[in-house]
Structure 1
Amino acid sequence: MATSSIQERGSTSGGQQMIQQMAHLSMDDPASTDTVTARRRANALRPISKLPPELLARIFCAYAALPKFNEAPSAAEFSLKDKVVVSYRRQIGTGWLDVVQVCHEWRETAFECPALWSSVPFPLDWGQHWARQFSALSGAMPIDIVVGRESHRRGRMGTWVEDFVKAHKFRLRGLAVGFTVSEKKWIQEVVDIDAPVLTHVDVFYAYSWPGDHAKYIHGGPFSAPELRDLVVFRVSPDLSMASWPNLRNLQLVDIPFDASQLQSALATTPLLERLLIRQLRHSYSIPAPSPSSTIHLDHLERIDVTGDSDGVMAVWGTLVVPSLAVVRLSFEQPTRDELRIDGREESLTTILSATRQHMDRLAYPLPGLSLEVSRDALIIAAYPEPEGGTLPFKDDARVIEVQDKQSSSRPYDFVAVIRAMPMHTCRLLELSAMIHWFYWADVLEETAHIEVLCLSACGPETTENLAKAALYSTRKNGPTLFPRLHTLHLYSVFYDSDDPQPDVVPPALLALRKWLERRDHCGVRKLRIQECSVFAEWVDIFRQIDGLVVEWDGDVRFCRGPNPSAIP
């Protein structure tokens, strides 16, 4: 394929330099007419001429996405640790300058293919000349616009930005905005009913700009008719006027939203797939909705909601979501009633009841549960069967997660939490809590189906109390604790004292051995010890038990022995 001469390019990082390059590209080469005609005739015989413009556009996109390696890396660009040259991807759009200069055929095809120039967001931060070039080359195709996302350029946008966006609103497909003081007034005039093809909106407001002390700002209803994705950060839409019949993804972050208004907005989102809300609160001035009024989100795949208990429950209690949806609720701010102990316990009961109700609706039971209980936090999570059936669970595998992070002068009621969960389907249980031994006697029935138990990131008291409670249950003729348990996993438990000695076994491990030795009542066949502060001598006391398989990772880094330097 005959190629045209390549223009001297140099650096193309700035907008003005790119405009100059574009101007050069649109000019004919300083060659005679006969030469140009002959060159075009030769190009017409090449395979490139037989490719459709759509395929050429994909080729251009692939080349433009390649990283640009520095030809002579400096010392700062060479990583001594990784022994590799650090490469930098050039700014969006500069790749076209390489591709369209391959030959006349490629260049003319690129200039005559609006879909190529509308395939990447218009970088308005580079200036209006570059934006207008993009606009002209994209024809009437739908476009995406990015403005105010480069921190070093924030606050330097002129009034032309507002005029440019409004002028192209009719073909605006996506809008990503980083707000500054001067730009926060026009956004609601753009994302409205007059934006017929707008599908994606991502708005970020940084209130750290000098002279602006507002933590968040108010926007319009963001009611573009075809809107599919709405992500706003510190920008409060007018939910009372929202209408989102095609919305799939809704993320409202770092804004105090009223639960009743959110309910009204969600009622207009029948196709919603992802819901992320932060700082949801309940309004006592607005009557609570009737329990019979429900919102069906049949396409929802994931819901993450954070706020005060009344606010979260006001929304969660009215939603009907698919049984396969991932649910994560976090209650972080106490309401007025919850400042009292009895009010807090009533709120916790409501939370657990709603969680149990959703778990009972699941199309398939979740065999895994984890409970993290402390004086100021409760985290309940449900999991599918883990790979290999080993614990601890992986956080990203959680299907349901409920967090209550409210402080109190009294700890959570472990028995009430256990009884509120569907323990009849639970076979794998992970505990991270300090549980008194006498609590276990009240949950013998609830723990009857547990096959794998993991004590994770808890103190040695939990191990000792569990062993004592299990031994105590064998003294009666009634049910014993964990009758089906066959695997016990100790994960990240610190058993050593201030001055541990390899030949002095901690009381917690001695109590555990005493229980595991009762082979007539204890069915544990495998003990797994991982990332715990134990010496090899402590592990050996369990290897002596007949019928017990001991798996230890051999990690003694967490042991603070008499001579730490001697520990490998």
Structure 2
Amino acid sequence: MNSQDSRIVAGLVLPSSSSCNHQNHFTTTIQSSDFMTDTTSKNACETQFDQIDQEILRYEEAVRDLKSRRNLLAPISKLPAEILCAIFVFCTLPDPLTPTNYAADYRWRWITVTHTSRLWRNTALSCPTLWSKPEFTKTEWAYEMIRRSKMAPLTIEVTSNYWLTPRVVDAVSEGLKHLPRINELHLSASRDNMDKLLSGINSPAPFLRTLYLDIGRSDYYYHSRAEPYILPEDFLGGDASRLSHIELTRCHLRWDSSLLRNISFLKVHNPGPPAPTLDQFIGALSGMPQLEILDLENTLPGTSDTEHTEKPGVSLPRLRKLRTVGSLQECAIFLEHVVVPSNATIHIMAKCSDIPDEGSPTIQLIHDVCQRLPVARETATTSSATNSPLIKSLLVQSMGIGSGLIVEAWNSVAKSRPTATALNPSREINLNPLATAPSVGWLKLEFTWQSAVIRQIHNDVVVAICRPLPLAQLRHLHIRNGYQDSVNSPTFARTFGTLPKVNSLTVEGTSTYEFVDALNYHTGSQSATGYNGLASSSSSNPNPGRPTLAFPALRTLKLLEADFDRDHEAENTLLEPLMDCLMHRYEHKSEIHKLILERCSHLNSEDVAELQGIVADVDWDHIECGYSDTEDEDMDDEFDDEMDDVFGGEAYFGYGASYISSDEDMMFMGF
């Protein structure tokens, strides 16, 4: 066989095609043999891989067992499971120090306890309370948490309509199927979604303690134009024997509903028509002898019409906090028929339909509202000591031309309280019994109207509000008014100047001129009758019957944000009247001992030096401003920088990167 008639394959000398008729068959046999060899080798490798992987798993499991045994020797592992569960549940509570904007990011950090050790995980999984508040924004979590919660009391909470996708609605509906063990139901939703969730919820809820339904703040679309949602008459089957806390916003519940029994916390905002009749309203409150918190907005009886021969009324002896918002007439009707303890925190917001001109029915009605306040009633009916808190600090604030007036009272003389409230006068009294709000007054009255204000409106309203109040023990008076034409000196002096114990006065805004002028007024005989029949002691005046200077006990005067050149006459127009006032009071033995000047404009060190020649103790913040536009712009920039330091520079929107997803199910992390 020569080279032309043969070829070498895989080291073997094979005959050529011309010399061997079986070439194709032989080649196929060799290739099949190679394939079988490769497959066998591959299968052998995979078998070895599997054996090695299984061996690794056995070692890893052994290591985990060793770690678990080691962890069991740690002191914390000696704690009983019940204590560990209590600690884990405590970890789920919101941190009061965490800003609200970031609360959602921190909410699920407690889940790490299930990945710390085998003991902790088993303990957490066997603790139903830990899973009793399903996270409905993550639907897979919600179903699993409902399953893990077993028979523990459930909290169903949806805080925004934004999250209510169809899948979330289904998950919430699944949670509502466990109504017999729901402890708290909190839904903020659009009217349509609320109807989807609550339709058919007509079975009893024996463990339900808190009911919170909100249409108004589900999102910005529904806040101002949402139609109220009318709860079905058979809602919860009318049977929720443990229900004690109800909050409804733009949700209408009949006032004769059996759910409104033995309530301790009731908040109803903007439920829509029809408004309750006086008999329905009094009847409902009569069934709440344990009521402690009452917050009603635009849901008061509009008339005093009654089917009873005697005037209906109800006493709420355990009420601690009251807030009512309505028309002036509605607030007057409420205070006439509902008796509230005098030591309760009270916030009345009354909207005047007519301009409170001098001698108008509106002025008289404002006076009637204040006269019906518990603290005014007790003072008028008895001269003996009562449980009523004494008014020791008072803030009187103008809300602007044609807007209204705020009067706020404290039973202490802490200086920070009126000032702190003045920084945010619109804030509401916090009705949360677990929260503290030391800067909010014990009594707050707001009267609003719409008009082109004339000079006497604020004066008459101040008199109508303050005359019925027991101000004999008032120590600190804070006047905040940025509109110079809304007050006058004689009214201010007659209204407050006769008070015998006012030793501190704060005047804030551009009305400083009028109030400084009022300090020069003489208020008549020292023995004249003052507020609420109080006769001032004549022993403080060596010449009884002679006129005395307004604010005889005043020793500290604070001018805040006063413009010493209010009329822009390029000269200090307030300095001279202020110096004359201080000298006048010094000559009449009612000198000012301390003068405080803060954030005043058109005031310099030379002016302060002149004031120090009259008052020994002058406390000035050394801020000179108002002399040029550039200076004012620099102050604005400094203020903006301070606000950036406080709020972090940039506004924070959203709920953090962990909450960003086009599909809520994509956020499921598994646990």
- Name the CA distance, whole Å, in 1 between partners of 2:225 and 2:523: 62
For residues 166-177 of structure 1, what are the structure 2 equivalents within 5 Å? 166-177=176-187
Pick the aligned partner of 1:99 from 108, 113, 129.
113
Answer yes or no: is the 8 Å Cα contact 1:463–1:512 preserved in 2: no
Q: Corresponding residue for 2:266? A: 250
The residue type equivalent to 1:382 in the other structure is: A
Q: Corresponding residue for 1:146? A: 157
Do structure 1's residue 495 and structure 2's residue 564 form an aligned pair? yes
- Name the CA distance, whole Å, in 2 between partners of 1:35 and 1:510: 91
What is the CA distance between 1:382 and its match in structure 2?
Answer: 1.1
Q: Corresponding residue for 1:386? A: 413
Q: Corresponding residue for 2:85? A: 57
- Name the CA distance, whole Å, in 2 between partners of 1:92 and 1:376: 42
For residues 55-454 of structure 1, what are the structure 2 equivalents within 5 Å? 55-61=83-89, 90=105, 92=107, 95-96=110-111, 98-118=112-132, 121-127=133-139, 129-147=140-158, 149-157=159-167, 160-161=170-171, 163-185=173-195, 194-205=204-215, 206=218, 214-220=226-232, 224-256=240-272, 258=275, 260=278, 261-284=280-303, 286-287=305-306, 292-334=311-353, 342-355=360-373, 357=376, 360=379, 362-373=387-398, 376-387=403-414, 392=419, 394=421, 396-408=439-451, 411-412=457-458, 413=460, 414-433=462-481, 434-439=486-491, 442-443=494-495, 446-454=498-506
The verdict on how the C-alpha distance between 1:494 and 1:266 changes in structure 2, with shifts beyond 3 A counting, is: farther
Q: CA offsets, 1:481-500, max 9 Å, x none?
A: 22221122212222324646
Q: CA offsets, 1:49-98, max 9 Å, x none?
A: 5422222223434666799xxxxxxxxxxxxxxxxxx98864755743x3
Answer yes or no: is the 8 Å Cα contact 1:368–1:383 preserved in 2: yes
Q: Corresponding residue for 2:30? A: none
- Name the CA distance, whole Å, in 1 between partners of 2:360 and 2:270: 30
Answer yes or no: is the 8 Å Cα contact 1:244–1:269 preserved in 2: yes
- SS of the aligned residue for 1:517 comes to helix
What is the CA distance between 1:331 and its match in structure 2?
Answer: 0.5
Q: Corresponding residue for 1:515? A: 581
What is the CA distance between 1:229 and its match in structure 2?
Answer: 2.2
Q: Which segment drifts farther, 305-314 or 150-159?
A: 150-159
- Name the CA distance, whole Å, in 2 between partners of 1:91 and 1:391: 35
Answer yes or no: is the 8 Å Cα contact 1:245–1:269 preserved in 2: yes
- Name the CA distance, whole Å, in 2 between partners of 1:153 and 1:444: 54
TM-score, normalized by length of structure 1?
0.76
- Name the CA distance, whole Å, in 2 between partners of 1:532 and 1:426: 26
What is the CA distance between 1:192 and its match in structure 2?
Answer: 6.5
- SS of the aligned residue for 2:227 comes to coil
- Name the CA distance, whole Å, in 2 between partners of 1:321 and 1:281: 16
Q: Corresponding residue for 2:22? A: none
What is the CA distance between 1:387 and its match in structure 2?
Answer: 2.8
Answer yes or no: is the 8 Å Cα contact 2:408–2:441 preserved in 1: yes
Answer yes or no: is the 8 Å Cα contact 1:492–1:530 preserved in 2: yes
- Name the CA distance, whole Å, in 2 between partners of 1:564 and 1:213: 45
What is the CA distance between 1:198 and its match in structure 2?
Answer: 0.7
Answer yes or no: is the 8 Å Cα contact 1:40–1:105 preserved in 2: no
What is the CA distance between 1:555 and its match in structure 2?
Answer: 1.9
Q: Corresponding residue for 1:524? A: 592
TM-score, normalized by length of structure 2?
0.66
The residue type equivalent to 2:195 in the other structure is: K
- Name the CA distance, whole Å, in 1 between partners of 2:63 and 2:609: 86
Do structure 1's residue 481 and structure 2's residue 550 form an aligned pair? yes
The verdict on how the C-alpha distance between 1:290 and 1:534 changes in structure 2, with shifts beyond 3 A counting, is: farther
Q: CA offsets, 1:246-273, max 9 Å, x none?
A: 4332222343473534443322222222
Q: Which segment drifts farther, 108-117 or 217-226?
A: 217-226
What is the CA distance between 1:151 and its match in structure 2?
Answer: 4.9
Answer yes or no: is the 8 Å Cα contact 1:386–1:393 preserved in 2: no
Answer yes or no: is the 8 Å Cα contact 1:300–1:322 preserved in 2: yes
- SS of the aligned residue for 2:341 comes to coil
- SS of the aligned residue for 1:198 comes to coil
Q: Corresponding residue for 1:13? A: none
- Name the CA distance, whole Å, in 1 between partners of 2:378 and 2:450: 26
The verdict on how the C-alpha distance between 1:285 and 1:531 changes in structure 2, with shifts beyond 3 A counting, is: same
The verdict on how the C-alpha distance between 1:524 and 1:63 changes in structure 2, with shifts beyond 3 A counting, is: closer
Q: Corresponding residue for 2:669? A: none
What is the CA distance between 1:125 and its match in structure 2?
Answer: 3.2
- Name the CA distance, whole Å, in 2 between partners of 1:45 and 1:529: 66
The residue type equivalent to 2:408 in the other structure is: A
Structure of higher RCO (CA pairs closer than 8 Å, 6+ residues apart):
2
- SS of the aligned residue for 1:100 comes to helix
What is the CA distance between 1:421 and its match in structure 2?
Answer: 2.6
The residue type equivalent to 2:135 in the other structure is: P
Answer yes or no: is the 8 Å Cα contact 1:154–1:180 preserved in 2: no
Q: Which segment drifts farther, 421-430 or 215-224?
A: 215-224
Answer yes or no: is the 8 Å Cα contact 2:264–2:291 preserved in 1: yes
The verdict on how the C-alpha distance between 1:266 and 1:457 changes in structure 2, with shifts beyond 3 A counting, is: farther
Query: What is the alpha-carbon root mean square deviation over aligned residues?
Result: 4.1
- Name the CA distance, whole Å, in 1 between partners of 2:572 and 2:90: 63
Q: How many residues align?
A: 510
The verdict on how the C-alpha distance between 1:247 and 1:468 changes in structure 2, with shifts beyond 3 A counting, is: same
Answer yes or no: is the 8 Å Cα contact 1:100–1:106 preserved in 2: yes
What is the CA distance between 1:305 and its match in structure 2?
Answer: 1.1
- Name the CA distance, whole Å, in 2 between partners of 1:122 and 1:329: 38
The verdict on how the C-alpha distance between 1:152 and 1:404 changes in structure 2, with shifts beyond 3 A counting, is: closer
Could you say which structure has the higher helix fraction?
Answer: 2
The residue type equivalent to 1:379 in the other structure is: I
- SS of the aligned residue for 2:518 comes to helix
What is the CA distance between 1:393 and its match in structure 2?
Answer: 6.4
- Name the CA distance, whole Å, in 1 between partners of 2:443 and 2:346: 5
The verdict on how the C-alpha distance between 1:548 and 1:61 changes in structure 2, with shifts beyond 3 A counting, is: same
Q: CA offsets, 1:383-431, max 9 Å, x none?
A: 1223369964645241101111023565141444443332322222222
The verdict on how the C-alpha distance between 1:124 and 1:406 changes in structure 2, with shifts beyond 3 A counting, is: same
| Identical-pair percentage | 18
- SS of the aligned residue for 2:360 comes to helix
Answer yes or no: is the 8 Å Cα contact 2:403–2:448 preserved in 1: yes
The verdict on how the C-alpha distance between 1:564 and 1:423 changes in structure 2, with shifts beyond 3 A counting, is: same
Answer yes or no: is the 8 Å Cα contact 1:242–1:265 preserved in 2: no
The verdict on how the C-alpha distance between 1:403 and 1:243 changes in structure 2, with shifts beyond 3 A counting, is: same
- Name the CA distance, whole Å, in 1 between partners of 2:547 and 2:580: 20
The verdict on how the C-alpha distance between 1:143 and 1:93 changes in structure 2, with shifts beyond 3 A counting, is: farther
Q: Corresponding residue for 1:8? A: none
Do structure 1's residue 505 and structure 2's residue 572 form an aligned pair? yes
What is the CA distance between 1:470 and its match in structure 2?
Answer: 4.9
Q: CA offsets, 1:269-327, max 9 Å, x none?
A: 22222222222344349538888543332332211111111222222333333332211
Q: Corresponding residue for 1:5? A: none
The verdict on how the C-alpha distance between 1:520 and 1:178 changes in structure 2, with shifts beyond 3 A counting, is: same
- Name the CA distance, whole Å, in 1 between partners of 2:103 and 2:415: 41
- Name the CA distance, whole Å, in 2 between partners of 1:134 and 1:326: 40
- SS of the aligned residue for 2:446 comes to strand
Answer yes or no: is the 8 Å Cα contact 1:489–1:529 preserved in 2: yes
Q: CA offsets, 1:311-347, max 9 Å, x none?
A: 2222233333333221110002527x98997321221
Answer yes or no: is the 8 Å Cα contact 2:265–2:294 preserved in 1: yes
